[in-house]
């Protein structure tokens, strides 16, 4: 009996009858397709990209944004910096206070401009993850004064247009936080009052709960153009469908960019529509361009974390993206005849109503397509034959272009976004033999191309000897190269009161390169009397969301004339302390030397403390920072490692 069963399975795989799937535009169109995108922010996930030298930086940008090449993204979503830690670092606000504005801080403006160069039609979205404290008038709650918050956000949109010629298409509320209907209405009114009637509001970048509120509140319903949810697991809710609004997975994926991550991405790009009627999916994050040991290291559609070497990696999720983005555009429509395959997997069909048809098929298996979140219920996928019957406007087609990918988890020899021979259509139908963990694009569009560049430079560690005196008269970006703000924000500063060696400084916890035994030194200036303080650190083992739990060797000096050496950033594990004679307004040079289990510190070249015992961590980042986000200046930074 077992033998007969086995023979039947083999014969079915090789030649059993195919399941039939009808592609027909006569039954009506589904929802309008809004595009596939990537998210830079939440936070500081593109930080290292700006420091790549040419031509490698442009090559990376081409892989992400260039039309009809590689990922060819339709949407770029960026963080509106709020001067606060938001996952992998801090992004600066365009308004540190209510009395000033600077639309050249950070790198998101630059990234949006570069994306527009490569795809003039790319849609741009801004979303706050955090707000400067002044926005809530010291309450840390931006909804207490909705007019202030709305003005702050609209000022960012204004800056994008006036200073960078960027039209923002959509604006969000507050990432993964409570929404406030009053604020949303005030934001809509504020946008309209200054002529930004075409800027749509996405809400609430969390769960689906706002949908029920929109059904009950017509003013809220009118103000919101798109219901955006995070990590929906390809499912929607009835209330969201009843609003008849655009439904987006406005943040999704969040998975390591190996082949399982590629399987996750390929599956949800189809199934967010098939199961949830969502018409856009946006990847967090766009590119893994931050230090890998930070939170979610290695997420992103590709990897670019070594600007000092020029090395980058085009990962398999890039090619899963291309299967949809190169053969569709926002404004196309899903057909109603989309769905799940009989033996696992899914297919979608989209048309441009001008004669073009694109069908994307995926057969990702459960264990090879799990996203980090949410948990994935069990399902089975097996090899199968599928016959697609073309009806309506497409019954006359005789051949279609084919692009193919196979994530081969057994041989590790993937086939990624390869062009195959056109498929012949006989009497309006064609048949495919589908194996597991495959993606097919079957299309009338013939402009697809893989795109390629010469191999980038080889990977190499961060230089053991590095220094920066921050002497840049007109810096192209506000942050110094390779420094990555973790709490608070730092930027280049022109010290107009000093015409000497400290005329150019770094102003205002910064993470750096991973090292073990090292000497690190920096000139520091405390600006706050009595309560001010700064630190220089080595072997800092935590960053990102966990920075407040960081351990390491922290060498502090204070404006009250004392110093302290601690094994943690919170200052609880004291290794040494005493008098330093330090005060505000004076430049001091701190030198921290860590060798094996011992550390020592110099002040202006003279020993201040020594033989502090450091049992852990064994190695990690060098860092510098302030006591409590107050103003301070840093100059002549230098690190030498063994």
- Return d(Cα 189, Cα 184) in angstroms, integer: 9
- Return d(Cα 365, Cα 611) in angstroms, integer: 56
First to last CA, the chain: 69
- Return d(Cα 19, Cα 431) in angstroms, integer: 9
Of 208, 124, 131, residue with least CA distance to 164: 124
Active site residue 176: yes
Which is more confident, 112 or 450? 112
Axis crossing angle, helix 56-65 with helix 108-118, rounded to the nearest 10: 70
Q: Which helix (H) or strand (E) holds 44?
A: none
Catalytic-role residue among 32, 176, 239, 630: 176
Fold designation for 34-307: TIM Barrel (3.20.20)
Q: Mean pLDDT check: name the lowest of 134-148, 265-279, 384-398, 574-588.
A: 134-148
Of 433, 351, 453, residue with least CA distance to 384: 433
Of 422, 428, 424, residue with least CA distance to 401: 422
- Tell whether the model's pLDDT for residue 512 goes beyond 80: no
Cβ proximity of 344 and 379 under 8 Å = yes
- C-alpha atoms less than 13 angstroms from C-alpha of 346 in its C-beta half-sphere: 22
Q: How confident is the model at residue 303 (pLDDT cuts 50, 70, 90)?
A: very high
What's the burial of 287, exposed, middle or buried (CB within 10 Å: 0-12/13-18/19+)?
buried
Query: CA Rg, the chain, in Å?
Result: 27
The verdict on pTM exceeding 0.85 is yes
Q: Which helix (H) or strand (E) holds 536?
A: strand 533-540
Phi/psi for 594 (5° steps) reads -125, 120
Q: What pLDDT is stored for residue 514 in this prediction?
A: 57
Helices (H), 137-275: 146-164, 181-193, 210-216, 218-223, 238-243, 259-274
- Return d(Cα 225, Cα 181) in angstroms, integer: 14
- Tell whether the model's pLDDT for residue 227 goes beyond 60: yes
User: 3-class DSSP state for residue 553?
Assistant: strand
Active site residue 251: yes
1-53 confidence digits (pLDDT tens): 333 333 333 334 444 578 999 999 998 899 999 999 999 998 899 999 999 99
Cβ proximity of 32 and 335 under 8 Å = no
Greatest C-alpha distance within the chain: 92
- Tell whether the model's pLDDT for residue 65 goes beyond 80: yes
Cβ proximity of 518 and 642 under 8 Å = yes
Looking at domain 465-641, which of 3.90.1150.10, 3.30.70.260, 2.60.120.560, 2.40.30.30 is its CATH number?
2.60.120.560
Q: Mean pLDDT check: name the lowest of 162-176, 276-290, 310-324, 530-544.
A: 530-544
Cβ proximity of 152 and 97 under 8 Å = no
Q: Where are the domains of the chain?
A: 34-307, 465-641
Beta bridge partners of 170: 125, 200
- Tell whether the model's pLDDT for residue 201 goes beyond 50: yes
Can you tell me the mean pLDDT for 503-512? Answer: 53
Q: Mean pLDDT check: name the lowest of 113-127, 128-142, 146-160, 384-398.
A: 128-142
Which is more confident, 370 or 486? 370
Phi-psi region of 113 (alpha: psi -120 to 50; beta: other; left: phi over 0): alpha
Catalytic-role residue among 79, 108, 114, 251: 251
Q: What pLDDT is stored for residue 16 in this prediction?
A: 56
Q: How confident is the model at residue 497 (pLDDT cuts 50, 70, 90)?
A: confident
Alpha carbon of 635 to those of 105, 255, 521, 560: distances in Å? 20, 38, 9, 21
- Tell whether the model's pLDDT for residue 370 goes beyond 50: yes
Q: What pLDDT is stored for residue 10 in this prediction?
A: 35
């Amino acid at each position: 009996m077992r033998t007969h069963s086995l023979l039947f399975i083999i014969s079915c795989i090789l030649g059993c009858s195919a399941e039939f799937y009808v592609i027909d535009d006569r039954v009506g169109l589904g929802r309008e397709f809004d595009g596939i995108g990537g998210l830079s922010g939440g936070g500081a996930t593109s930080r290292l990209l700006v420091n790549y030298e040419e031509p490698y930086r442009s090559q990376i940008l081409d892989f992400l944004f260039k039309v009809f090449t590689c990922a060819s993204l339709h949407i770029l979503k960026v963080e509106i910096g709020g001067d606060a830690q938001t996952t992998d670092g801090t992004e600066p606000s365009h308004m540190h206070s209510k009395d000033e504005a600077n639309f050249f801080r950070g790198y998101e403006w630059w990234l949006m401009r570069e994306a527009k160069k490569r795809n003039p039609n790319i849609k741009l979205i801004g979303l706050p993850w955090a707000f400067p404290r002044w926005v809530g008038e010291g309450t840390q709650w931006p909804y207490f004064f909705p007019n202030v918050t709305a003005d702050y956000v609209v000022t960012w949109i204004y800056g994008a247009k006036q200073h960078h010629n960027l039209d923002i298409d959509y604006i969000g509320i507050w990432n993964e936080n409570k929404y406030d209907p009053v604020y949303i209405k005030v934001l809509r009114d504020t946008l309209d009052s200054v002529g930004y009637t075409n800027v749509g509001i996405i809400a609430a970048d969390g769960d689906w709960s706002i949908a029920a509120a929109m059904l009950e509140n017509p003013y809220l319903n009118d103000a919101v153009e798109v219901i955006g949810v995070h990590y929906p697991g390809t499912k929607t809710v009835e209330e969201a469908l009843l609003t008849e609004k655009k439904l987006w997975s406005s943040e999704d994926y969040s998975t390591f960019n190996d082949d399982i991550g590629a399987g996750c991405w390929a599956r949800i790009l189809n199934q967010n529509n098939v199961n949830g009627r969502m018409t856009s999916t946006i990847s967090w994050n766009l590119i893994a361009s931050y230090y890998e040991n930070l939170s979610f290291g290695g997420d992103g559609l590709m990897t670019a974390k070594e600007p000092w070497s020029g090395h980058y990696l085009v990962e398999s999720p890039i090619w899963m993206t291309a299967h949809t983005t190169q053969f569709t555009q926002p404004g196309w429509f899903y057909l109603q005849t989309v769905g799940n395959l009989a033996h696992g997997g899914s297919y979608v069909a989209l048309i441009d109503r001008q004669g073009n048809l694109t069908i994307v098929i995926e057969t990702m298996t459960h264990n090879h397509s799990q996203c980090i979140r949410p948990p994935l219920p069990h399902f089975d996928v097996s090899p199968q034959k599928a016959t697609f019957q073309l009806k309506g406007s497409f019954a006359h087609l005789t051949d279609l272009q084919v692009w193919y990918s196979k994530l081969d988890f057994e041989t590790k020899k993937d086939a990624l976004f390869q062009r195959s021979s056109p498929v012949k259509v006989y009497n309006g139908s064609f048949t495919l033999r589908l194996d597991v963990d495959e993606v097919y694009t079957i299309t009338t569009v013939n402009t697809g191309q893989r795109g390629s560049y010469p191999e980038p430079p080889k990977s190499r560690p961060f230089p053991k000897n590095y220094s920066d005196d921050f002497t840049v008269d007109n810096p192209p970006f506000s942050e110094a190269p390779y420094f990555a703000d973790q709490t608070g924000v730092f930027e280049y500063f022109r010290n107009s009161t000093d015409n000497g060696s400290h005329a150019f400084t770094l102003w205002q916890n910064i993470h750096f390169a991973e090292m073990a035994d090292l000497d690190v030194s920096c000139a520091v200036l405390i600006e706050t009397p009595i309560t001010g303080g700064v630190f220089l650190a080595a072997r800092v083992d935590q960053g990102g969301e966990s920075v407040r739990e960081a351990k390491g060797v922290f060498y502090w000096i204070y404006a009250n004339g004392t110093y302290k050496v601690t094994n943690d950033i919170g200052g609880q594990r004291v290794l040494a302390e005493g008098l330093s004679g330090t005060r505000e307004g004076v430049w001091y040079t701190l030198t921290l030397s860590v060798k094996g289990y011992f550390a020592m510190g110099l002040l202006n070249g003279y020993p201040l403390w020594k033989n502090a015992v450091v049992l852990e961590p064994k190695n990690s980042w060098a860092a510098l920072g302030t006591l409590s986000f107050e103003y301070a200046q840093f100059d002549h930074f230098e690190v030498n490692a063994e």
